Amino acid sequence: MVGNLFWLTAALMAVVDVMKTLPATRIMPPLNVDALVVQSFHLASDERLP
């Protein structure tokens, strides 16, 4: 039970961290490269993210 709670907490922290970095990545993108968070945002907005 504790192991499952650990993984759930880790996944939730990763999602929160990605959502915090999304605005900065969208404003200041690297040249000719889509960051992972931008690709995830596009897939989620198209409802293609599993």
Q: What is the pLDDT along the chain (50 residues), one digit of tens a residue?
A: 677 888 899 998 988 887 777 777 666 666 777 777 777 778 888 877 66
Determine the pLDDT at residue 48.
73
Does some domain include residue 39? Answer: yes
Provide the domain limits for residue 28: 2-45
Give the total number of structural domains in the chain. 1
Q: Are 40 and 18 in contact (CB under 8 A)?
A: yes
Give alpha helix (H) positions in 1-50.
Answer: 2-27, 36-45
Does some domain include residue 20? Answer: yes
Determine the pLDDT at residue 40.
79
Does some domain include residue 50? Answer: no
Residues 6 or more apart whose CB falls under 8 angstroms from that of 22 comprise: 37, 38, 41
Dihedral of alpha carbons 11, 14, 31, 47, sign: positive
